[in-house]
Structure 1
């Protein structure tokens, strides 16, 4: 028995040493549900299941992109439009995974007395200029017969949405959860005017990996993609709902009750679901290629950056497709 225990302990130590010698993939993640969900991969052992050594690093959203641009991490959870911005400004990256698409959690919230998007004509709107919230606002204005020039934009960091709306200085704010939901709950009489559910695909949320790390550790990143499929499978199982909400709420630092209210506004995707959005021939928001190109055009037009990027070059569907082939 002692010999067996000695051999078993030795085998475990050897396995641990092999795992420790594997490259450490650093992923920056933040408080959007589709990225916070990486916490589940860590807490439930899905990274270890796929034998990949991942270190998750928590940031506010803007600083997460700054950390990626500064090469302090290997990958970052971003919206597809912000992956475009990073590429345009020198932080070369490749999208290897679609985590989700926003299905209502990005919201335009009107101040008391504002009942519709059309009511914003001639009014001030708080929005983080040059990010996808800005694009969502323009989409809403156009669909309601208005132009960007019909409103006055007030540049607002998204995490300041509540205090900006409370100030009374703007007639609406554009924000994602939890800030959008907080604005609705804390500003009495505020109203949801328009959301990402009105234009599914305008915001995909992705894992963007540095070109350097992807070239070195392609096989390891494939394991990360496989771990994500386990995350969503776990989330989809009703018996895990309570534990899932607790993991996500604890990471963000809000109550489980509050978190449960808005998690449905993010459409989490298993790989078998996300693969259909990797359609290079679709130029609409129904494809990440079409969405990214439309957002790229928007950013150039609004002088977020000067020159269009080749969006097809930095979106790689092979990780999802290869996993699905191997799973058959």
Structure 2
């Protein structure tokens, strides 16, 4: 069933949440416990119109089809879905309070959480190369990144969108200090840009819903390379994996099943319609986002060299841009590819996806 965050999750500050949960240290002892009777899954809420949703990725396919509920029903295990309007920072609070077992996050958010000491392991990829968009207020003269200088711009800080936004600014010789940056959640940002209370907002393809209200959408990251796009994945807590690795495997298996379906070009229209129906966002949003994409590349669940190297770049960018404090962590050791590998083997999908090397190119390609 769908559940909204408790007041505790919305009020607690991230740092105080860490302290309250005793997770300030990089690692905690793995508690020995009986198998879980509930699997608690968390995600930023990318839905609208009263439809909580993880948006447009393979987890959304699993959610819409209720595949996890089916996979756990025979053992009487409940699946709880928790969606957070506060996105990555709110998910971090819930993780710190030990209120979630598995979470879906964009790259920067998950890297920030890991760098701050939340004991997670990366168990599957859910999407690659997602673009971001700049929505400008009706009548705005903003056409380029350089035009943002001195303007009021909203970005939800601590989410995956902050990194490509900062990289776009840097490429134009600007930084966050050169704009009037406002930290605002996605629903509030949409309302504010439509009303002209801010000049622009930076976010995902759900912004296309604002076109009919006179808002202009600029695809500034499209075709600009990996420094400007977003990857996402599924993470599990160390506590959950210590006693429930078999349950985590079931979750990943259903995710890989979804990835195989999404990777088929013949399913493109059905995929777009599923995303729209499940999230309440218009089909246009997903059709625009997926235009020209190789679905088999975008939805590969493999935790291969290219995917891991991208997360190392995210960490490096985060440190360089001041989005992450400290010295970082061992990115490669964070990943646990065996869950996806087992699912691919069990589902006989060995020939569906090609692994990428550290430069992001398919292995064996010229």
Question: TM-score scaled to structure 2, two decimals?
Answer: 0.68
Gaps (5+ residues) in structure 1?
A: 1-20, 280-286
Superposed displacement of residue 131, structure 1:
2.9
Superposed displacement of residue 22, structure 1:
7.4
**1:261 equivalenced with 2:287 (yes/no):** yes
- Deviation track 1:59-97 (CA, whole Å, cap 9, x = no partner) reads 135344433332222111111221122233443211111
Superposed displacement of residue 37, structure 1:
2.7
Residue pairs, 1:176-187, within 5 angstroms: 176-178=204-206, 180-187=207-214
Q: Which has the higher helix share?
A: 1
Report the aligned-residue RMSD.
3.3
Counterpart position of 2:81: 57
Give yes or no for contact 2:130–2:289 (8 Å, CA) kept in 1: no
Counterpart position of 1:147: 175
Superposed displacement of residue 194, structure 1:
1.3
Give yes or no for contact 2:68–2:79 (8 Å, CA) kept in 1: no
Q: Distance in 2 between the 1:143 and 1:203 partners?
A: 17
Comparing 243-252 and 122-131, the one that deviates more:
243-252
Give yes or no for contact 1:97–1:320 (8 Å, CA) kept in 2: yes
Counterpart position of 2:316: 294
> Which of residues 191, 216, 232 is equivalent to 2:259?
232
DSSP 3-state at the match of 1:55: strand
> Which of residues 84, 97, 121 is equivalent to 2:111?
84
Q: Distance in 2 between the 1:123 and 1:41 partners?
A: 43
Residue pairs, 1:1-328, within 5 angstroms: 23-29=37-43, 30-31=45-46, 32-34=55-57, 35-40=59-64, 42-43=66-67, 47=71, 55-61=79-85, 62=87, 63-104=90-131, 106-111=132-137, 112-178=140-206, 180-188=207-215, 190-192=216-218, 194-195=220-221, 197-200=223-226, 202-237=229-264, 240-241=267-268, 243-255=270-282, 257-258=283-284, 260-262=286-288, 264=290, 268-271=298-301, 275-279=304-308, 287-298=309-320, 301-302=322-323, 305-306=325-326, 308-324=328-344, 327=348
Counterpart position of 1:15: none
Q: Distance in 2 between the 1:28 and 1:198 partners?
A: 30
Q: Distance in 1 between the 2:39 and 2:203 partners?
A: 30
Superposed displacement of residue 133, structure 1:
2.0
Q: Distance in 1 between the 2:105 and 2:76 partners?
A: 21
Q: Distance in 1 between the 2:202 and 2:236 partners?
A: 28
Larger Rg: 1
DSSP 3-state at the match of 2:254: helix
Superposed displacement of residue 158, structure 1:
2.2
Counterpart position of 1:283: none
Distance 1:186 1:53, change over 3 A: farther
Q: Number of matched residues?
A: 294
- Deviation track 1:111-146 (CA, whole Å, cap 9, x = no partner) reads 321111111122221112333322221111122233
